[in-house]
Amino acid sequence: MLYSKITSVTFGTPPSLIHTREVTYRILVTDEMMGNQCSFELDPDSFETDLQFTVNEANEKGNWSCSYECQDESEYCILHQPVDEKDPELLQRWVHTHIHNSKNDSADPESDVSSALIGIRAERLEFNSQVLGAIGEIIDMRGAQLGELILKGSIVNGGLNLRGCTIKGSARFDQSTFDAGVELVGAKIGTLSADGAQFRDRLLVKGVNITSDLLFEQITVEGVINGNEIAIDGKTVLRNADFHDISTFSDSEFGKSVLARNVTFRRRVDFSSSWFENDVNFKNTTFEAELLLSRALISGIADFSDAVFEKQFTLNEVTFRKVVKFNTATFHKGVSMQAIAFENDISFAESAFEGPALFTGTHFRGDVDYSSAIFKKQTDFQNTIFGNEATFDGVIFDDRVSFIRTHFETLASFRGAKIEAVADFSNAQFRGETDFEGATVRGEFDFSLAGDEDQQHQIINLQGVTIENGVLPLPEQGNVIYDLEEATLGDAVIATGEIDRPLEHYRLVNVTYDGFDFSRGNHREAFEASDWNIHRTVTEDTDSNKWGIWKLPRRFGIFLTGHEDTNPNTLESTYIKAKNGANQIGDSIAASKFFQREKLFRRWSHRSKLTDSESSTGERFEGAFGWSTNLGFSIVSGYGERPLRVVGSSLAFIFAFALIYQFVTTGLFDQGGFGMHLLFSFQSFITFIVGTPPGATTVTVQLLSSLQGFFGAFLIALFVFTLTRSVDR
């Protein structure tokens, strides 16, 4: 073997390759190849991509001409003979000898050396566990047409240029190491596999057409990836890959699923204007810089679960046709998904938003799940539309959150949510079931809803909610009912609206009042308008300005259609808590009203023991005694809150005993008639003057007089108590 004398052909390196120095082709000629010059020409215009031939490389027709000698009697060299005419073993041996462990001792150290394999035709080229080329030597296979190219476990010291090549079968670079740039721009490949490969410089795959699969599992690319306008008909596997520099895949088409689990993108990755015809899986992937998806179309499921976004994640004009998952994802610098539409379900369950979260103007047409998500900074859902179920159960908002003018078309659930700062729902609209059960709002809570005139009796479930500060007014339209059972109200404002009895729209069963001001704003007027009845709401078939009671669904607990269906123990507890809340802020008037209601429902509790068929005899006796004493206390003194009732009861007591005296003292009073009996009854009642009948008295009269004196002293003491209590109120 010897080197041909035409080895001095030089030309500028194609600008897309790593090196910018001139390239010297080292053309190795074997004994078998001696003869006429190969007549093969490569027309660059026949390729869809630019092969980047320089002026020095093109002949007078603008084509590239082969400089090798013909093979035997063929008009072509062994590289360019038709595949069915050449000896594949001879070709493999020649190429192997040409580039395997090649040295560039004869090359100018200031120039790159290229192993010229331009336009090579071969059924299969295979180099397993080889060291190919010298440092700085480019293996130039532009325009090649191959059946298969196998470089498994090899080390390529210089660059590899496959621009415009066609590989009908597989191009396999598994476990190989490329120390310089690799270029496949405009190539057409069946399957491209580089599992476990290392690319220490840039990888150019712009415009590549892959008719089967792209397999880049556990790949490491230390340089830039330019993958614009690639088309992959099969699946794309990037699992466990590590991309150190900018990765660009914009304007590309992915025909089947994209599996990019556990990938690390250390610089920006760009999928702008790309089409994903199937599922996309970026689960547990780390994006240390920006992820660009603007104008992309994802037709399958998009899964970003457990992903980590180190920079702000922005979605602009992205179309998702199916489910999108961001479960347990982490957004370190925030997220912006404004003015875009999600056609199907999307989930952010258990995700962490450590920066601002902006969803302004977004339209969610499917279910949305933010359950147990954590928002560390300001969160904005202004003008957002939730077309289906919106779940925020267990969510935590550490900073201000805004739902201004937000529309919830069906279920809106905030069960167990924790809002540590301002929560603004002003002009928001809830059209379906609304559930805030167990939520806690520690900041200012603005629940000034817009209302919906087409909706009658919209229930807002606020059971068990804690509102430390805020407003809960009635909307101007519709008929909203706030169910606040077991809630805790702090410095809040409720019962504001342009209706006569606004309190009928608040169900305040077993509410704890912690600093709630019953006299604040129009609270006093609202409570008085409802006669201090806080557990009943408007009926479904009556005007809101008329008194009625609405029977709530069974899942809301107590039926309120009437006293028979109401749990008296629960209602007694309701008014005890209201009384305690009024006492806490020193509102004696409200405390008095709620105390009377408390005693009323305690009497009902006694009656339930009396009438319950399952009660024992002892329980029934206890119920009868409690009911009667409670009723007597109510009649005589209004539960100690109405002194005039004591006066009336005392006069009735005196008059009743006068009638008794008239019946049992016949003949004892000769003069005065009934007036003398009334006087004697009055004297016996106050016991300060000893009443003495004019004639001989009987034991019966003395006993009745003493008994009346005993009860008279009791009623006088009760009068003093109620009078003093009323003055204190």
Q: How far is Cα 331 from Cα 354, in angstroms, rounded to an integer? A: 6
User: What's the average model confidence in pLDDT over 429-449?
Assistant: 92
Task: Say whether pLDDT at 540 is over 90.
Answer: no
Amino acid (one-letter) located at 185: V
pLDDT for 504 beyond 70? yes
Contacts of residue 560, Cβ cutoff 8 Å, sequence gap at least 6 = 507, 535, 536, 537, 549, 550, 551, 552, 566
pLDDT of residue 455: 66
Residue 639 has pLDDT above 90, yes or no: no
In this prediction, residue 409 has a pLDDT band, given cuts at 50, 70 and 90, of very high
Q: Residue 661: what pLDDT?
A: 78
Count of Cβ atoms closer than 10 Å to residue 418 Cβ: 17
pLDDT higher than 50, residue 112: no
pLDDT at position 543 is: 40
Quick one: pLDDT at residue 481? 87
Give the integer Cα–Cα distance in Å for 247 and 251. Answer: 13
pLDDT the model gives residue 169: 95
Q: Residue 727's pLDDT is what?
A: 65
Report pLDDT for 669.
56
Instruction: Name the DSSP class of 661.
Output: H
Cα dist from 708 to 681, 705, 713, 714, whole Å: 8, 5, 9, 10
Q: How far is CA 214 from the centre of its chain?
A: 33
Segment 258-284 mean pLDDT:
96
Separation of alpha carbons 395 and 457, rounded Å: 27
Over residues 417-424, the mean pLDDT reads 95
> For the segment 160-169, what is each residue's pLDDT rounded down to a tens digit?
999 999 999 9
Backbone angles phi, psi at 285, to 5 degrees: -90, 145
Question: What pLDDT sits at residue 498?
Answer: 67
Which stretch of 228-237, 397-406, 499-508, 663-672 has the lowest confidence by average pLDDT?
663-672
Query: Do residues 539 and 531 lie in contact, with contact meaning Cβ atoms separated by under 8 Å?
Result: no
Between 263 and 588, name the one with better pLDDT: 263
Residue 676 has pLDDT above 80, yes or no: no
Residue type, 673: G
- pLDDT tens digits, 698-727: 777 778 877 877 887 777 877 777 777 766
- pLDDT tens per residue across span 339-356: 888 999 999 999 999 999
Question: What is the C-alpha to C-alpha distance for residues 141 and 79, in angstroms, rounded to an integer?
Answer: 11
Which is it for strands 308-309 and 330-331: parallel, antiparallel or unpaired? parallel
Among 106-115, 336-345, 675-684, top mean pLDDT goes to 336-345
The pLDDT, as a whole number, for residue 696 is 52
Task: For 524-566, give the DSSP string.
Answer: HHHHHHTTT--S----TTS-TTS-------GGGS---SSGGGS
Per-residue model confidence as pLDDT tens digits over 23-55: 433 444 444 444 588 888 888 888 888 887 877
Q: What is the pLDDT of residue 569?
A: 85
Give the containing element (helix H, strand E) for 165.
none
pLDDT at 316: 85
Mean pLDDT in the chain? Answer: 82
String of DSSP letters for 621-638: HHHHHHHHHHHHHHHHHT
565 or 133: which carries more pLDDT confidence? 133
The residue ranking higher by pLDDT, 622 or 387, is 387
pLDDT tens figures, 173-200: 999 999 999 999 999 999 999 999 999 9
What is the band of 678 on the pLDDT scale with cuts at 50, 70, 90? confident
Residues 684 and 691: beta-carbon distance below 8 Å: yes
Q: What is the DSSP letter of 338?
A: -
Q: For residue 442, give the amino acid letter.
A: R
DSSP state letters, 76-117: S-TTTS-TTTS-HHHHHHHHHHHHBT---TTS-TTSEEEEE-
Instruction: Give percent of the chain with pLDDT exceeding 70.
Output: 84
Binning pLDDT at 50, 70 and 90, where does residue 269 land? Answer: very high
Within 13 Å, how many C-alpha atoms sit on residue 620's CB side?
8
Neighbour tally for 426: CB within 10 Å: 16
**pLDDT score, position 392:** 97
- For helices 617-637 and 643-664, the axis angle rounded to 10 degrees is 100
Stretch 481-506: mean pLDDT: 84
